[in-house]
Each structure stands twice: as C-alpha cells, then as structure tokens.
Amino acid sequence: MSPNLIELHNASFGYDTQPVLQHVSLSVERGEFTVLVGPNGAGKTTLLRGVLGLIPVLSGRVVYHFDRKASPPGYVPQRDSLDSIFPLSAMEVVLMGTYAKLPPLWPVGRAGRQRAAQCLEQVGLATMGKRPFWTLSGGQRQRVLIARALAAEPEVLFLDEPTAGVDHEAETAIAALITELNRTHGLTVMLVTHHLDRIRSSVHSTILVDDGVATRRRLDVQSAP
C-alpha cells in the first residue's frame, strides 16, 4: 500500500479553462495533517476543490490511493456556501453524510441513523439532533458539518476554512476536534485556514499557495511551538 493517499502530478486547476494554479506536484501521506495557507485569493480553495474533483483538472493528474466509493472523502464546505432557506434539523444535515454509500431508492436505515447519532456525539452535539440547523451558533453549525463529513466514514477529511467567522471559543473547540480526529482516529486532514497559530503544533505539513504556485513544506511536529 502506498504511503501516499493523494498525489498530484503536474496538475493545473482553474475555472473556464483559465488556470489559477499550474504545474502542482505534491503528495499527501496517510494520516497526515496538511494545512493550505496563503494570501486571500491565492487559490487555496481552488486547490482543495481541484483535489476533491469539484473543478476539472486542466492538465496533469490527481491520483487517489483509496477507493472513493468505499471511503468517500469527508467534506466541510465554507459556511456561506449553504443556503439558510432549507428547513433542516441538525440530524437531517448529518444524515446527508450517510447518503454517500447509499444507492438510489435505498432509504437511510437504522444503521445509518445510529452512525449519524454517533457522529453528532463525537463532535459534542449529541443532544442537538432535533434542533433546527440554522438556529445553532456558527461554531455548532461547523461541528454539525464536521459530523456530516464523518458520517461518510472517510479516510480523508477536507475542510475549507471551518473556523472562519466563528468566535474565539468555538475556533478553539473546532481546532481541538480536528486535531483529535487526526491523532486519535488517524484521519488524514487537508485544511484551508488563515489561522494556523491555533493548530500549528498538530500540523505535519503546510502547502503554501501563492502566485499560482503551490509549495509543500514538511513541519517537525515535535519541535513546533
């Protein structure tokens, strides 16, 4: 089994055939905690979306050393990307994670509901399942979205600025949760953030995205402050 979970070979990503990032070659190892950093508009989210398959690879290759059907990626989008018009309970949002492995016509069964309840418990929101999703605080909503990602039983978790716009306390709790998922449960994590300080000690590597180029740098976790 390859030690790498994801490999990018000379990959270029962009929108409408216009490249934002070009000739990216890097790899993400199993169990690694990788953070994408860089200035606003540099292309961090573009890289994350490219790796996830949400935007086409304009050239080069993205190789997954895991079965995307058996273990779909967990994905936590930016908080503003979801529409508050949907009347959903927290549990209904988490249940969407279980849809990953269900074929059409197949309802969410008891096992799926139990899995969703466990994921809510894992993020510390066991009693919040019946609450309307949009009445939760920003931090709680982010944790529900992390629970939804976990409900897909992923090997790798992609998070796009999960602490943006939440208060200091919630930011700390979310950072601690992601660190625990990586350390205790062995989940590979790819995280876009502007706030590296709070998780620096847990991060294995950074990918600096700037000026159309992505550069990976391995960090020494033990010696990190």
Partner 1 sequence: MDTLLQILSPDFLLRDALVASVLVGLVCPLVGVYFVLRRMVFLGVALPQVSSAGIAFAFLVFNVVVGPHEPFQLSERVLALIGSFTFTLAATIILAYFEQRRAMVEARIGTAYAIAAAATILLLAKDPHGEAQLVHLLRGDILATTGTSLVWMAAIFAAVVFALFAFRKELLLVSFDRDLAVVFGKRPGLWDLVLYLLTGVVISLGVMTAGPIATFGFLIVPPVTMHLIAGRMLTFSLGAAALGALTAFGGFYCAYRFDLPLGPAEVALASIALAVVAGGSGLRRAIGRRGT
- In the complex, the residues that contact partner 1 under the rule CB under 8 A are 49, 52-54, 68-69, 72-73, 75, 77, 81-83, 85-89, 92, 96, 99-100, 102, 104-105, 107-108, 132, 152
Instruction: Label residue 41 exposed, middle or buried (CB < 10 Å: 0-12, 13-18, 19+).
Output: exposed
Other beta carbons less than 10 A from residue 188's beta carbon: 24
Q: Pick the closer one to partner 1 by CB: 123 or 173.
A: 123
Rounded (10°) angle between helices 138-151 and 90-98: 30
CA terminus-to-terminus distance, the chain: 33
Nearer to partner 1, 101 or 216 (CB): 101
Looking at residue 73, its amino acid is P
174: Cα within 13 Å, side-chain hemisphere = 29
Q: Which is nearer to partner 1, 24 or 145 (CB)?
A: 145
User: Cβ closer to partner 1: 54 or 176?
Assistant: 54
Residue 109 CB, shortest distance to partner 1, in Å, is 12
Distance of closest approach, residue 128 Cβ to partner 1, in angstroms: 13
- Minimum CB distance to partner 1, residue 215 (Å): 26
